[in-house]
Structures are given as C-alpha cells and as structure tokens.
A and B are shown apart, each in its own frame.
Chain A
C-alpha cells in the first residue's frame, strides 16, 4: 500500500472551505480548552470521593467533597461541549486519520458514547446519594470514576491509532484477512500516563483559585481555606514533578527531548513549580498554566504533522473552496454572541457567587444582559432573512 497516495486520496473531494492553517490553529486552541476540563474532571472526582469517605470524621473534607462533586459535574459538561470543536476541526484537515481510526475501532467508538453516558449519569447518582448519606454512594462514585477513566483511555487510543497510518492495513486486515468488527484498540501507555498525570497540577492550581475566590465570600472559615490551600499546593507540586518525569520519558521515546517546543514546555513547568511554591497570585499562575496547555496542544500537533509529512501529506496543500458567507457567519457569531453571552453569564455568576443574599445586577451586568438578548434576536432575524433570500433566489 502506498500510504501517501492513500492518505491524499482519502481527502474529501469537496476540499476545505477556508485556509487549513486556520482550522489547525482553532484545533490547537480548542483542544487545550477541552483537555483543561478533562483534567479538572479527572482530578476533582477522586477528591470528591476521598472527601465523601472522610466526611464523617472531617468537616473540611465534607465541604470540599460537596464542592468538588459540583466542579466535576460542570467540568464534564464543559469538556463535552468544548470537545465538539477539536472533533470538528480535526475532521476537516485530517479526515483520513479520523475516519480510518473510527472505522477500524468502530465498536469502541460506539461503546465510548455509552460508557460516557453511564459515567456521567452515575456521577449525578453519586451526587444525590452522597447528599443523602446513602451507604452505596462511594461505590457508585468509584464505578463512575472507572467509567470516566475507561472513556478517556478509549479517546486516547483513537488519537494514538490515528497517527500510525503504517499500521492501519495490518490492523484492518491482519495476514490479509479483512476484519470488519471494529475492535482494534492500541494504547501508548507513556503518552496516556503523562496526559492523565496533568490532572494533578490542573486540579491543584484550581484549588488555589478556589481559595482565592472563596476567601472573598462569606461562610468559609480560615481553617477550611488553609486546609484547601495546603492540599492544592501539595497536589500541584507533586503533580508537576510526576508530570515532568513522565513528559521527559515520553519525549525521549520520540527523540524530541531537545526540541525547542519541548524545552519551552519544561521551562513553563519549572515556572509553574516556582509560582506554586512561592504562592504567587493563583489567577496569574492559571494564566501560565493555560500557556503551558497551549504549548502541549501545539506539541501534539507538531508530532502529528511530522509523522504525516513523512508520507507526503500536508494539510497546507489541501484543495480549498472558500465559503465566505459561512466564514462571516461564524466569526460574527463567535465575537458578538459568544463574547457577550459568555461574558454576561460568567460576570453574573462571579458576582452573584460573592454576594450574600440576593444579587441585584449593577449597570455593567444589566448592559451585558440587554446586549446579549438584543444581539441574539438580531442574529436570529438575520439568519432567517438570509435563508428566505436564498430560498427565493434559488426557486423563483
């Protein structure tokens, strides 16, 4: 099999509707956002479970458990919705990789969805069972956690298979016998371990954010805040050290230890370590963490590009048919609806969370609320008018 010829033949004949580099940049950005919430969910679930087990003897753990349960709940929701974007963009420029993987691992791909539904539903069950002090709450929570891990392992396997085009035919038709069962599954344990280990620093730094935010709210004792701060610091430091070791081992297997991007990631990990030890402003530490996540996302993409270029596949020469109307629709919606809508809700939630009793919107929040509703109405009207014009143009 001429892998390069196959990869280029598998490209969608309709081409891409915009410059491939834009899809690539969006992929890197949105994957970093997605993985941030994956890691937060994976880190907050065990904390919630430990807290649940300790709640009878330790008030601090009891309170933290309740909050971490909520954090996990919302993180999973966000990781799903944020995961849609990289899923979309990778299919545009790496369609061959994505679709081959999903067909040869088809059964696991279908199973992934139901495992994730099971995991998330069980987590809601845990939430209610834990609140009602049910004796089976812990078991439900653990099963949920295991199912989440299972879903994560599957997702990792798909990514790992997609960058090994030289193996596809061996996996699909071992010894020349076609296997259409979709049961192929291959894991890179080192890469997986590194990615999972990142959940510790992400969760640790989140706990430091949590302390900074709640210290301005009523109802949190100094003892509780000190407990969480200490825990967050420990989790972040130990997590950063473990992640650094696993990262070095992983890039060593790729012969990329001295790649400038890899060195930049190491540098940022050291900066993070220093900031956590020095107890720097947690929000600034989070910004550094975001940059690190973007660098890791970029490294993943560089690894994929290097592999694909070996076979003569470059996303930059993907045939293009630019579709300006929908490009404009996306950009205007992203900027106008996305920024105002999310800005409004996050500002509202932030301020309401810090207010004791009823929060009455101030001028800024009211303006944001009015703008969001107004912009969304205008958006819907423009969309419908555009549709009517197109339908009439094409039928009359």
Chain B
C-alpha cells in the first residue's frame, strides 16, 4: 500500500474550516497588534514622564496597562496559540511545514513571550512602587521584547506568501525562507498598523480621564502618533505589493482590488478623518465614540485586509510548495521534499489518502456519488464551501445547471489545466474526475 501524508478532514459546514482560522486570526491580529503598539506607546510615555517629571502620566499608563492586560494579554495570548489550533484542524500540512521549518524561530519568539508576559504584570504593578529610572528601563525592555516578537513572526507569515527567491528551495535553510523579499516591507506595514492601533486604543483611556488639560494633550499626541502610523502603513503597503509573487499580484490587481478597492479607500478615509478629528477637536472624542471606533476599525480594517492576504496566497498555503488542499506541489531539494502531483494523477486521491475507508478506494457505480463527495472534500473544501448558496465560495454555485459531462470537461480543461492561476491544477485519474463531476451535478 502506498500513501501520501494527508490527514483526516475537518470541515465546518457553510463557511468551511479555513475561515474559522481567518476569524480567530483576525481577532488575534487586532489584539496582538495593539499589544506591540501599546508597548511602544508605553516606552514613549514613560520616557516623557521621566524626563519631564510628569507623574500624572503614570496614572494614565496604569489605566492603559490594565486595559492592555485584559484586552491584549487575555484575548491576544489565547488566540495566538488559537491560530495554531485552528490551523492544525483546517490546514495540518500547511502548519506542519511552517513548524518544521521555523521551530527554532518560534521557540525564540516564545522566549520573548515569556519576557513580555512577566513584563506586563511587573510594569503595571510596580508603577509608583519602584524608582522611576528602573521603571523606565523596564518599559524600554518591554517595548523591545514586544517588537522582537513582531520581528520573529513576520518572516514566517511572509513565507506563507512566498520565500521570495529560489534560495530556500535549494538550501532548505530557515534564514533563506524567513528573510524573503517581502519580509521587511511586511514588517514596516505591521509596525505602522500597530502604531495606529495603539492610538485607537489609547483614545479609549485618554477620553476617560477627568483632568481636562491632560485629556486634550494626550488625545492630540495620540492622534499625531496614529497619523505617523497610518502614513507608515500607506508607504509600506505600496512597497509591499511590489514584492508579491506574480500570481498574487495578478489576483490583487485584477480581482481583489477591482472588487474591494473602493471599500479599502473608504476604510482608510474613515481612519484618517477620525485621527484628524481627534487632533482638531480632542474634546469630541468621548469614551463611547472611542470604543465604537475601535470596534469599527478593528472589524473593517483587519478582517478584509486579512481576507485579501489569504486570498492572494492561493492556490498555496505555505511557501508556494503546498497547495491549500494540503498536496505538495513541487520539489524542494534543500529539504528532500518531493512533489506528489504525478503520483496523485496516476493513482488518485482515494488510493493515496490513508484515511479513506477501504470500500471507497475503488470507485463503482454504487459508491460513485459517495466517492465524489469525499473527493470534493479532500480536493476543494479548504477554499470552497460545499453547500449550494453558502457564505464563502460555494462550490456547487460554480457549476450552475450543468450536467456531469460539462462539469467533467471544466474540471479537466480548466481546473486541471491550470487556466485559473489561483486554483491548484490537480490532475486526477479519469474515474475520480467523473465521480467528482457526478456528485457536483447532483448539488447544483
């Protein structure tokens, strides 16, 4: 018996399991970006409080810190491993590829997590209890540790898009994988957004301050900080899109921007207007508005952006060598990895997947539809919902009112031929293609 390393499938109806990862990921991004941005803001405020002898700023920091602990270090620290959890359920070979390339990078990031978590509690609970110079050093260390966690994760996320050059495929070295051509633009893009988020969260605390002058001063300063962050985001984004692989650029330019471009412009305008309002009329930023705007910016700013980035990665899920449906698409000599595509074309998914029940390994007229459904799940469900009219990319809707023969032709001449650059060009044996087509014909 010959197998390939496919895992059992977890499929969440209507939205697909991969989107569960997107939801957890977006929550995590909002919380974690806030935490790093806030760490930088902390260092800035502590520096100012110490140099200008402004004890009132420490009260602000304490309030901000408590909010940060609850918001970022509860939600952020749980959803961080949460991304791993949902990714392992939805994309086991994708996350496995990242782990087996970058385990030491993640272990290094873990060291900084430890420093960060102990740091945030020490930082908050020692305000007013230790000398200010030592507290200032603590805030510097906390900010550096937080930014370092960004440094360490950014290359891994960038690798998910692509390693940038051919080097890693040949050497297998994690540093060639980590430092791709879009790692640095991606890093600055994230730093910029973190700074924006630290201001957006900061408004919630500054707007609740009773002392009017301090409230105005801090709101204005946060607005300026937010604008600097926003400008960094804009410039880095322009740099970032220049470093995308061709298929991602094509998808971004021809499909995603045409569809979502105006929405993105509106989002940026809303954030810019909000920051301008905070600077020009700081008293107008009350706590209710600040909370509402945080949620609005969090939802409309993070979710569509992450959705776009996830889409641009298609048909790959990691390093442009593993397809979203977990099949290995190309050789990676540096890691002794071999493409599985020729084997799949010859023997089919049902024979090679270890978790297929024995009675489905050979297709018969009696089990054709059952086999077709399982093939659809294995080959398509990472990107497509399998229910007609479902929320995310419903597969049956792609074949409206078509009969088996027409669907089979499309599967062979369009999908398997690689005409659509964002769909894995998977060639299947004829009986599996027929079974898939037959099942799809019953669904549309």
A residues lining the B interface (CB < 8 Å): 1-2, 5-6, 9-18, 23, 26, 74, 77-78, 80-85, 87-89, 91-92, 95, 98-100, 102-107, 109-110, 112-113, 116-117, 120-121, 124, 168-169, 172-173, 176-178, 180-182, 319, 321, 323, 325-327, 329-330, 333-334, 337-338, 341-342, 344-346, 348-349, 352, 355, 358-361, 365-366, 369-370, 372-373, 376-377, 379-380, 383-384, 386-387, 390-391, 393-395
* A11 pairs with B5, CB closer than 8 A: yes
Residues of B within 8 A of A358 (CB): 128-131
How many angstroms from the CA of A372 to the CA of B139 in the assembled complex?
11
Q: How far is the CA of A16 from the CA of B103 in the complex (A)?
A: 9
- Known contacts A14-B335, A326-B174, A341-B141; 10 further A-B pairs (Cβ under 8 A): A12-B5, A14-B336, A78-B118, A110-B20, A113-B82, A329-B104, A330-B105, A344-B141, A395-B164, A395-B165
Q: In the assembly, what is the distance between CA of A180 and CA of B356, in Å?
A: 12
Cα distance, A346 to B115, chains bound together (Å): 10
For A387, give the chain B residue with the smallest CB separation: B179
Looking at the complex, which one of A84, A180, A373 makes contact with B80 (CB distance below 8 Å)? A84
> Are B8 and A95 in contact, with the CB atoms below 8 A?
no
Across the interface, which residues of B come within 8 angstroms of A177, CB to CB? 357
In the bound complex, how far is the Cα of B24 from the Cα of A348, in angstroms? 36
A172 & B8 in contact (Cβ 8 Å cutoff): yes
**A-chain residues with CB within 8 Å of residue B144 when the two chains form the complex:** 373, 376-377, 380
- Asked if residues A391 and B179 are in contact (CB atoms below 8 Å), the reply is yes
Once bound together, how far apart are the Cα atoms of A13 and B3, in whole Å? 13
Are the C-beta atoms of A338 and B357 separated by less than 8 Å?
A: no
Q: Which chain B residues in 7-29 approach chain A with CB under 8 Å?
A: 7-12, 17, 20, 24
Closest to A335 in B: B111
- The minimal Cβ–Cβ distance linking A396 to chain B, given in whole angstroms, is 11
**B contact face: mostly helix, strand, loop, or mixed:** helix
Q: Assuming A327-B104, A345-B122, is B355 touching A169 (CB within 8 A)?
A: yes
Q: Is the CB of B141 within 8 A of A348?
A: no
Q: Indicate whether B245 reaches chain A with its CB closer than 8 angstroms.
A: no
Q: How far is the CB of A123 from chain B (nearest CB, A)?
A: 9
B88 with A98: CB separation less than 8 A:
yes
Using known A-B contacts A319-B336, A341-B145, A373-B137, determine if residue A103 contacts B7 with beta carbons closer than 8 Å: yes
Q: Mark B95-123, 1 if CB is under 8 A from A, else 0.
A: 11101111111111011111101110110
B interface with A by C-beta (< 8 Å): 1, 3-5, 7-12, 17, 20, 24, 70, 73-75, 77-82, 84-86, 88-90, 92-93, 95-97, 99-108, 110-115, 117-119, 121-122, 125-126, 128-131, 133-134, 137-138, 140-141, 144-145, 147-148, 151, 155, 164-165, 167, 172-176, 178-181, 183-184, 328, 332, 334-338, 354-360, 374, 377
Q: In the A-B complex, list the 3 residue pairs whose CB atoms are closest, starting with the nearest.
A: A106-B10, A106-B89, A326-B104
Please state if B134 and A17 are interface contacts (CB–CB under 8 Å): no
Smallest beta-carbon distance B105→chain A, Å: 6
Q: How far is the CB of B259 from chain A (nearest CB, A)?
A: 28
State which of A77, A106, A345, A386 has its C-beta within 8 Å of the C-beta of B73: A77
Alpha-carbon distance between A344 and B178 when the two chains are bound, in angstroms = 31
Assess A387 versus B184: contact at CB under 8 Å? Given A14-B337, A321-B335.
Answer: yes
What is the CA–CA distance of A169 and B359 in the complex, to the nearest angstrom?
13
Sample 27 A-B pairs with CB under 8 A, ordered by A number: A6-B354, A10-B354, A13-B335, A13-B337, A13-B338, A16-B103, A18-B104, A26-B107, A84-B80, A84-B110, A91-B88, A102-B89, A103-B88, A106-B12, A110-B12, A113-B79, A180-B8, A323-B173, A333-B108, A348-B130, A349-B122, A365-B134, A372-B141, A376-B141, A377-B144, A383-B148, A387-B179
Distance of A341 Cα from B5 Cα, bound (Å) = 41
Kindly provide the distance from the CB of A73 to the nearest chain B CB, expressed in whole angstroms: 9
Which residue of A has the minimal Cβ distance to B180?
Answer: A391
